Amino acid sequence: MKKKQFCSINIIMTTKEKVLKMLVDAKGQAVSGEKLAAECGVSRAAVWKAVKALREAGSTIEGTTNGGYILADNDIFTPELFSETFSTRFPELSDCHIECFKEIDSTNTYAKRLLAECGNLRDAAGQLTEAGKKYHRAVIVAEKQTAGRGRLGRTFVSPEKTGIYISVIYAPKGGITNPARLTASAAVAICRAIKNILNKLPEVCRLEPQIKWINDIFFGGKKVCGVLAEGVANFESGMIEAAVVGMGINIKKNKTAFEGDLADVAGTLEDALSQTSPDAPAPSISRVQLAAEIAGQVLKIFEEDASSPEAHKAIIKEYKEASFLLGQELTVYPLIGDEKSSYKATATDIDENAGLIVTLKDGSRKTLTSGEVTLKSSSLAK
């Protein structure tokens, strides 16, 4: 599948990338062409060519009367900016392998291709191989997906400049024994990340992100994020050696990406915030900051979950507190898409392995570890 790579982090920056970084660092202030040329070690003509190329690539760069340049975009995403933001926010993860793309088919699909090509991540003794040292805790980020996927092969709409799409590779010693726990932990981490970013925006209403079992994040009554965890098997040991955990989050206001029935369910963070404070200035969430926060929080919570039974219990407690299904009447689909197999039940609890416990009309209980549940749109979290 053809993809447009923005660039891998560990490369020498081009003049275009250096100019863009200097303009981003200037935070809306003009930077003279002379200064750009001196810092980049090139001629003024080369700076002009770089600015022209950036404009053609979609960056809004304004010229000033004294020959300076101002970056008018308020939400630039570059590999260098992501790497810097990620390593500054999570210094303990600064050695993670990072790849950024302008456009890709799917970050999960790409991550699985990497793993298929590199061989086993751990040896027979459970120690990381050279490939494991590189790709365990790797982060893949894209601004656009042309073949984004959700559960069961469903399409995940992934337009450019409105969302961010992330996959992390996680290969713990002993392999992946409970994928549902991993998905639940990722959902909690995403909620933490959203709240951390919103806490930096004092002007916005304090909406809380909420979880719909097992892999969807809702905000203001609409789905803003989905999680897709996929296992990668080690055929020699027969175990699931690694997980690729993909997350797509809708951030920017978007009137065209979600159409038809999708528009009734899917939303964005900024749309929800704008509706709570229509008279306030439109909120602006940095895609690069949120992407770095999500990637770091997810990798941290995986280690947190594995550290002790008490830590795992605390994560499940946090998951339950964020869930808006508990106490709601649901339609359960044991076989997704099969109306005949569906039944009504009330969501009662979530067990230690992230299974959803439901109570049927006759008082009996079932624990769901797969399948799908739905509820009326009027019951969605507000």
Q: Alpha-carbon distance 39 to 266, whole Å?
A: 44
pTM: 0.85
Phi-psi region of 171 (alpha: psi -120 to 50; beta: other; left: phi over 0): beta
CATH number at residue 119: 3.30.930.10
CA–centroid distance for 60 within its chain: 25
- Same domain membership, residue 150 and residue 58: no
Question: What is the model's pLDDT at position 16?
Answer: 84
Q: Which of 351, 322, 373, 377 is nearest to 180 (CA)?
A: 351
Angle between helices 33-40 and 15-25 (to 10 degrees): 130
Position 3 in a domain: no
Residue 1 domain flag: no
Question: Which of 71, 87, 110 is the last residue in one of the domains?
Answer: 71
Q: Is residue 247 part of a domain?
A: yes
In a domain, 4, yes or no: no
Examine residue 65 and state whether it is found in any structural domain, yes or no: yes
Give 179 or 259, the one with higher predicted confidence.
179
Q: Can you give the residue range of the structural domain that contains 294?
A: 79-319
Q: What is d(CA 290, CA 189) in angstroms, rounded to the nearest whole number?
A: 12
> Are 156 and 290 in a shared domain?
yes
Instruction: For residues 92 and 192, state if they share a domain.
Output: yes
167 part of a folded domain? yes
Q: Where are the beta strands (DSSP E) in the chain?
A: 4-8, 31-32, 61-63, 68-71, 98-103, 139-142, 163-170, 210-212, 216-219, 222-234, 239-250, 329-333, 343-350, 356-359, 365-368, 372-374
Same-domain pairing of 232 and 150: yes
Looking at 24, 46, 71, which one is the last position of a domain?
A: 71
What is the tens place of the pLDDT at every residue in 34-55?
A: 999 999 999 999 999 988 888 8
Please tell me the predicted confidence (pLDDT) of residue 71: 86
Residue in 291, 272, 296 with CA at minimum distance from that of residue 283: 272
**How far is the C-alpha of 97 from the C-alpha of 309, rounded, in Å?**
29
Do 170 and 253 belong to one domain? yes
Q: Are residues 302 and 341 located together in one domain of the fold?
A: no
- Asked if residue 145 belongs to a domain, the reply is yes
Q: Are residues 152 and 234 in the same domain?
A: yes
Q: What is the CATH number of the domain that holds 21?
A: 1.10.10.10
Least confident of 80-89, 133-142, 216-225, 248-257: 248-257
Domain for residue 2, yes or no?
no
Assess whether 217 and 190 both reside in one domain.
yes
| pLDDT tier, 257 (very low <50, low <70, confident <90, very high otherwise) | low
Number of domains forming the structure of the chain? 3
Are 290 and 250 in contact by the 8 Å Cβ rule? The answer is no
Looking at residue 335, which CATH number applies to its domain?
2.30.30.100
Do 157 and 67 belong together in one domain? Answer: no
Distance CA 333, CA 340 (A): 9
pLDDT band for position 259 (cuts 50, 70, 90): low
On whether both 194 and 225 belong to a single domain, the answer is yes
End residue of a domain, out of 300, 319, 338: 319
Q: Which residues of 196-220 are buried (b: 16+ CB within 10 A; e: fewer)?
A: bbbeeeeebeebebbbbbbbbbbbb
Name the pLDDT band for 10 (thresholds 50, 70, 90): very low
Give the pLDDT band (50/70/90) at residue 199: confident
Per the prediction, the chain carries an average pLDDT of 85
Q: Which of 337, 360, 362, 338 is nearest to 347 (CA)?
A: 360
- Co-location of 230 and 84 in the same domain: yes
Same domain for 158 and 243, yes or no, is yes
